[in-house]
Structure 1
Amino acid sequence: MGPFGVTHDVRLPGMELFFSHVRLHGGPAPVRRFLPELVDLITSRQIDPGKVFDLDLPLDRAAEAYRAMDERRAIKVLLRP
């Protein structure tokens, strides 16, 4: 199991986190418990999970994509080559 959104080989600088007063919280996500039911609901078209990306930009506008997410104008940006 790995942290959601973080690669498995991530290393956290413990002393830096401690002295910067950063709090890091985590816990297990029971994804496997809900996944079979959710897949069935999606494939039977009882629910629509919606689209993943809400902004589509060319790769050379990556800085704008991050700005849009930071300013909450976008949730997930698709960057195209």
Structure 2
Amino acid sequence: MPRVIVDVMPKPEILDPQGKAVHGALPRLGFSGISDVRQGKRFELQVENVDESTLAEIATIAETLLSNPVIEDFAVRVDA
């Protein structure tokens, strides 16, 4: 069965305290060269088929249930 991925991320202008905490911990753990970290969510949806109407429905699901459109952006993609 095909799988559709929905990635949800905070909008760039929204403070991301979890991402900042991870970014702050990296040097203490010996990692360098990372200039920023943003933390988001990933949803995997198994679908019967992938067509335009299915992807449009998943975009509606992402906008109304999986994300908060005021503070988050989302992207829908088909997993190869």
Please report the TM-score for the alignment, with normalisation by the length of structure 1: 0.28
In terms of fraction of residues, the more strand-rich structure is: 2
In terms of fraction of residues, the more helix-rich structure is: 1
Please report the TM-score for the alignment, with normalisation by the length of structure 2: 0.28
